Amino acid sequence: MTLCVGGELDGQEIEKDVKIFKASEIDPSYISTYYLQIYNRDNVFYKFWHPHGVDLHDLTNKVLEILRTSKS
């Protein structure tokens, strides 16, 4: 599963075999477009969805916090 970080689907795990999807596919009232972002940490690859227009620096900080928490 791939976790959404930010936007209308924040915190939800979404499994899709694409690089981009519209949140309206999940709920017609949502308007965000999500992009797949892949992170490499200690030679392990993690996938996260992020909404278009989000600050990538802020997103990366959130993802690193999630990864730190999951290792505990």
Distance CA 67, CA 50 (A): 15
pLDDT at 72: 60
pLDDT at 57: 93
The DSSP code for 53 is: T
pLDDT at 41: 87
The residues near 38 (Cβ < 8 Å, ≥ 6 apart) are: 45, 46, 47, 48
pTM: 0.86
The residues near 65 (Cβ < 8 Å, ≥ 6 apart) are: none
Are 33 and 21 a contacting pair, CB within 8 Å?
Answer: yes
pLDDT tens digits for 4-57? 999 999 999 999 999 999 999 999 999 999 999 999 988 999 999 999 998 989
